[in-house]
A and B are shown apart, each in its own frame.
Chain A
Amino acid sequence: MIQPRWARNWPAGSRLSEHARRADSGAYYFDGRSPIKHLVSISFARDALTIYPADGGEPIICPYGLTRRIEPFTPREHLALRPNDVSGARLVITDPALIAQFQAHAPEIFAPPFLNRSRILRWSAIGATMLAAVLVFTVVIPAATGLFAFLVPDTMKRSVGASTVKQVFEPLGLCTAPKGQAILDTLTGDLASRIGLDAELNIHVAKVPIVNAFALPGRHLVLTRKLLEKAESSAELAAVIAHELGHAKLGHPTEAYFRRGLVSAVTDALFGGGFVAGGMESVAALAITFGYSREDETAADIIAINALNDAEITAQGMVDFFSRSSESESGLGNVLNKLDWLSTHPSDGERRKRAAELGTGRNQALSPDAWRALKEICG
């Protein structure tokens, strides 16, 4: 039998059992190599217990510091231990008196300190991962998507925008009345030059029955026919175009392209799949994407108001448009408007207030005749 360091100062020839009360029953042992159940007796010393196999095998010394409790264990009134940290070895004490003795010798195994090493490590890892996740969402993803948008050549962005128009909007139909298109191109070009977007850009009106406008990569803008129908003045339309130009100026469409994939991948990995986590992942991905989107919208609004001011076009168009769209929101849209964190845009009230405060222009964007001609772009 190998004596542990703590037992080396004992008198020569002494055995552990001579220094501790030896128990003769009430425990069994699995050696971690086979499932054979060995009846054992055990004895307790100050720093270790010793297992004596009933079949006469070598006694096994198990320092308390290297003994782990297996919990939960069935039946609950028995005490299961993993001696010497050997993964498969199990000592099960069934005798309540022996359990009490063991508890007296190694109370820390029954009541480990609240802040033990394993718990501290676990919560440090959880905290670090949460911090990393926050950093990924607030710093890494915006920086990475910004870098991608910067690195992608302009010709590539133009091609992606053009192919999206071709694939998505052309099949639905584009409004191409020459007079209306010319007016729209002039208005857009004028606003673009005030924003500092001098490169080639394209604006289309798509026959889509919803009120919306899109800025695509490579300075392709798309307005829906429904939006054109709902706009009550050329200033309102100019506000929408200026807003989309703001997105184009800031490179949001290309950033959003990469961001969607990244956010989805990170939330998917973070939350995992499955019944509950899958649902949480979807909500989180939406909330995070919408969070970025709200920041983008605010930045685009500010650029739009500055462009409108420069062109002396009234920002009242923006106020009116948002007021009307806010009133027409019902059901889910209205609820989402109230749940700020789950909305793609800043609240309409906030946007109206900003436009009213910062807007200085007084004029409409187009003459009444030009506005009428533009409204007839879809025939």
Chain B
Amino acid sequence: MPSDSKPNDPPGAHGADGRDQRAPSKLKLAHVPGGFARLWGTFIATVILSIFTLTIYRFWGLTKLRTLLWSRVTLLGDPFEYTGNGWELFVGFVKVIFLFVLPVTLILSALNFAFQSMGLFTIGQVVGFLTAIGFYWIFEVAVFLRFRYRANRTSWRGIRARVSGSATHFAWRALLLAAGVALTLGLLYPYAHAYFMRYKLNALSFGGLKVHSTFSSRTLCGTFILCGIMSIVLISAITFGLMLMVGPMMMLHFSGGLTETSFSITTVLLTLLPTAAVLLPAAWYWARFYREAAKSVRIGEQRIDVAYDVYGWRLARYALGNWAIMIFSLGLLWPMTWLRKIDLICECLTINKELPIEQMMQEAHDPTQVGEELAGGFEIV
């Protein structure tokens, strides 16, 4: 029987008996080039149809976009698949609007009105504060459910990923850590950041291979403080520079030396500079974060380790590039930023040991539906 090996199949992916043999010892995801025209067309169609359908089409449009993007990434020559569908997101939306948004809004409006009418301003404020905390808790529940949904709707060779763990447990921790970050004026941020990543990683399994992570913030604190100081210095310097430039610019403008258009463009560009200044030091922190998170991971009983070799400058170029694409295309080239993200992941992520394909098994289907809607994110990737 002739072999069906494809050019991008690694040698030895399957043998004469038609079964997989050992995968190579180092694996990388591959981003199949091309496909931008179709992705962009789908994006534009989604935007237009969403506008004409009071954005309700977005559930299906989003699914199409994810399906296209997932299919561009391959492992061992086989593509990933996004198996979610618009109906699931739509049903999640209907559940959220009728079971949560409308009743909660009505109850809160009535409570506010009642407290105000009784002159119980302090109680009203306390209720308002508790409500905000409640919403934050629900948002964090949704963040976890969204992660669970996306993982479970991602499959490779027909098998899914799965996220166990408790969304409410995650949300309580998120609430406590958010309070901790606020009380320590942000100093607890690396701890919280590492905690959430560790929680998500430890909840994840793929094909029955459980992910284990020992990610800790110890290695992040120094980078975080250094990047924070760099951000403050850079923003201060740029703001000072801008203040020095504003006076002469205004004079030039009012004396007719600068046209209205040039004045407006210069003003916009100068206003955007501080944003770029924040991005740069943040890139070094995030790069360290991803590297350390990947380093902490062991997959399955075989303790397969992974590496995410991204460095500050690479991440800064990526972030600034995306930022420029979004600004200068007025969002029309947004899909390009998704492809850049996939490129980055494929370029940097390495699985350092062979995958025990023969031991991998299908994961159960997860009926989660409401996370996407409640988290309100709707990011594509």
Contact = CB atoms under 8 A, between A and B. Distances in A.
Interface of A: 24-28, 30-41, 53-55, 70, 72-75, 78, 87-90, 94-95, 122, 125-126, 129-130, 133, 144, 148, 152, 155-157, 159-160, 163-164, 167, 257-258, 261-262, 264-266, 268-278, 280, 284
A273 B78 CA distance: 34
Interface residues of B, number: 76
Contact of B102 (A32, A152, A266): A266
B6 A276 contact: no
Given A73-B71, A159-B119, A37 B114 contact: no
A34 B206 CA distance: 11
B157 A276 contact: no
Contacts of A88: 155, 158-160, 362
A33 to B, nearest CB: 5
Interface stretch (B89-97, B229-237, B270-278): B89-97
B336 to A, nearest CB: 15
B121 interface: yes
Most buried by A among B4, B110, B361: B4
Given A39-B3, A130-B53, A130-B54, A274 B116 contact: no
Contacts of B94: 129
B4 A30 contact: no
Contacts of B155: 88
Contacts of A40: 18
A35 B159 contact: yes
Contacts of A72: 35, 38, 67-68, 71
Contacts of B56: 125-126, 129-130, 133, 270
B335 interface: no
Given A34-B159, A38-B19, A74-B79, 19 more contacts: A34-B358, A34-B362, A35-B158, A35-B207, A35-B357, A39-B3, A39-B14, A88-B158, A88-B362, A90-B158, A126-B53, A268-B101, A269-B101, A271-B54, A274-B376, A274-B377, A274-B379, A277-B58, A278-B376
Interface of B: 1-4, 6, 8, 13-14, 17-20, 32, 35, 38, 47, 50-51, 53-58, 60, 67-68, 71-72, 74, 78-79, 81, 83, 86-87, 90, 93-94, 96-97, 101-102, 104-106, 108-110, 113-114, 116-119, 121, 155-160, 207, 331, 357-358, 360-362, 365, 373, 375-379
A266 B121 contact: no
Contact of B4 (A39, A133, A270): A39
A274 B55 CA distance: 12
A211 to B, nearest CB: 27
B105 A261 contact: yes
Contacts of A278: 376
Closest 3 CB pairs of A and B: A273-B376, A39-B18, A54-B18
B4 A163 contact: no
Given A89-B158, A94-B6, A274-B378, A25 B1 contact: yes
Contacts of B157: 30, 35, 37, 90
